[in-house]
């Protein structure tokens, strides 16, 4: 409800800016064309996650992970770290936020551990782990297409990407050491209520994962296409098998409204002088202090206005490979403080709410204030190595 109200207010602000000419209509249309595929993917993958959870797929995956860890809470957490990083790198941060979150919550509950360390691990690594490949984050795709970046994206991104994963993992390991230092008895797999629906969900998700990984970079098929096909197949199957599971609540409409309003409002503010202000704050140069300055501005801007608008606003002041990569570090690994800093965080929170898990935004922000500066700072310095 709060997200819908905020989104409605921001959307009204944006529409007023268009009506008064502050934001030209042509620019608003161009902005819509850029974010429409992202929102299409978000809606489709949210539907996939909801129906797959209803089918019992995440319960089975959680039981499998619990058996693999052989009763060690710390080993179980390491498995979650590895899966979160792999999912983010190859499938994108939004996919990790939507598909992995219900798995780790179910997993923690099944073995008697607190779901909070597992949930925080998922959302932190969804953001900080999204530097390695272009497909990992939409900001990477935008940067890769920038002439200033050159070629061989992975050759330039791998070391900052590794640092951006290792730093938050180390922080989480220290913060969660007591909560994870427990043994448990691996629980048996829960019975499947509707086997045909379960089988269809398992096959669809199994096919969707590689489709998302190779579609955009190899086949040049936008990720929203396979996600939409998967959502339609699961929705039709659920309508035939469990029609009561389908409702408009499956669609993340408040989130879509919020994102549309946010992008319009931030773009309009750019026309009113925000872009000039950010340009002056970000400075120039490619030395260590120059890159840290740019990354600091990018981190603050991402946490105030979402990481994608932050990247678009600061992209013109990057200018070369080192500065573009430092900006990517900031807008990918820095959005750990405010709930709206990245779309992945909002999606993650939606999955937690659906699972009746509540994380205080105050606690989230305090932990983010610890992790974001360390992660962004060290990963930015790695850009120069």
Tell me the pLDDT tens digit for each residue of 341-366.
998 998 899 889 888 898 889 999 99
Torsion angles phi and psi, residue 251, rounded to 5: -85, 130
Residue 73 resides in a domain: yes
14 within some domain: no
pLDDT at position 150, please? 57
Distance CA 280, CA 225 (A): 40
- Write out the residue range of the structural domain in which residue 208 sits: 23-382
- Total count of domains within the chain: 1
**Residue 4 maps to a domain:** no
Q: Provide the b/e sequence for 88-118 (b: ≥16 CB within 10 Å).
A: bbbbbbbbbbbbbbbbbbbbbbbbebebbbb
What's the token pair of residue 80? 């979650």
**Contact status, residue 105 vs residue 119, Cβ threshold 8 Å:** yes
Look at residue 15 and tell me if it is in a domain. Answer: no
**DSSP class of 72:** B
Distance set, CA 288 to CA 89, 315, 335 (Å): 26, 19, 21
Cα separation, 167 vs 158, whole angstroms: 14
Q: In a 3-state reduction of DSSP, which class is residue 183?
A: strand
* Residue 30 CB neighbour total at 10 angstroms: 11
How far is Cα 87 from Cα 339, in angstroms, rounded to an integer?
21
Q: Considering the domain boundaries, does residue 5 fall inside one?
A: no
Give the Cα separation of 381 and 369 in Å (integer). 19
How high is the pLDDT of residue 218?
Answer: 62
Is position 6 within any domain? Answer: no
Q: Which tokens is 84 given? A: 């979160």
Q: Classify residue 295: in a domain, yes or no.
A: yes
Within the chain, which residues score under 70 in pLDDT?
Answer: 1-3, 145-151, 213, 215-219
77, part of any domain: yes
Task: Give how far Cα 192 sits from Cα of 195, 241, 257, Å.
Answer: 6, 13, 35
The predicted pLDDT at position 146 comes to: 64
């Amino acid at each position: 409800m709060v997200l819908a109200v905020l989104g409605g207010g921001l959307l009204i602000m944006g529409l007023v800016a268009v009506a008064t000419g502050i934001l030209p209509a042509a620019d608003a249309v161009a902005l819509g064309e850029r974010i429409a595929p992202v929102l299409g993917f978000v809606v489709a993958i949210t539907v996939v996650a909801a129906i797959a959870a209803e089918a019992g797929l995440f319960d089975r995956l959680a039981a499998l992970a619990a058996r693999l860890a052989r009763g060690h809470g710390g080993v179980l957490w390491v498995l979650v770290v590895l899966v979160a990083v792999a999912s983010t790198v190859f499938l994108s941060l939004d996919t990790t936020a939507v598909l992995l979150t219900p798995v780790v919550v179910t997993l923690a509950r099944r073995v008697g551990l607190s779901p909070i360390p597992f949930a925080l691990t998922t959302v932190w690594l969804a953001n900080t782990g999204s530097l390695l490949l272009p497909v990992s984050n939409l900001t990477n795709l935008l940067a890769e297409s920038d002439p200033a970046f050159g070629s061989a994206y992975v050759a330039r991104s791998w070391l900052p990407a590794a640092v951006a994963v290792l730093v938050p993992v180390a922080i989480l390991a220290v913060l969660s050491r007591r909560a994870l230092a427990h043994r448990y008895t691996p629980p048996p797999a829960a019975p499947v209520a509707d086997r045909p629906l379960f089988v269809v969900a398992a096959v669809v998700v199994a096919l969707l994962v590689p489709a998302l990984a190779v579609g955009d970079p190899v086949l040049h098929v936008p990720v929203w296409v396979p996600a939409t096909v998967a959502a339609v197949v699961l929705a039709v199957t659920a309508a035939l098998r469990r029609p009561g599971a389908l409702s408009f609540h499956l669609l993340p409409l408040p989130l879509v409204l919020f994102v549309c309003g946010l992008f319009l409002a931030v773009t309009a503010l750019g026309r009113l002088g925000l872009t000039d202000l950010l340009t002056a704050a970000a400075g120039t140069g490619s030395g260590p202090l120059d890159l840290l300055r740019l990354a600091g501005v990018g981190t603050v801007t991402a946490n105030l206005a979402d990481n994608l608008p932050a990247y678009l606003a600061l992209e013109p002041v990057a200018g070369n490979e080192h500065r573009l990569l430092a900006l990517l570090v900031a807008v990918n690994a820095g959005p750990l403080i405010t709930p709206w800093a990245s779309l992945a965080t909002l999606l993650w929170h939606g999955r937690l709410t659906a699972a009746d898990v509540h994380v205080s935004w105050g606690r989230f922000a305090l932990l983010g204030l610890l992790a974001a500066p360390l992660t962004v700072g060290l990963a930015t310095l790695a850009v120069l190595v």
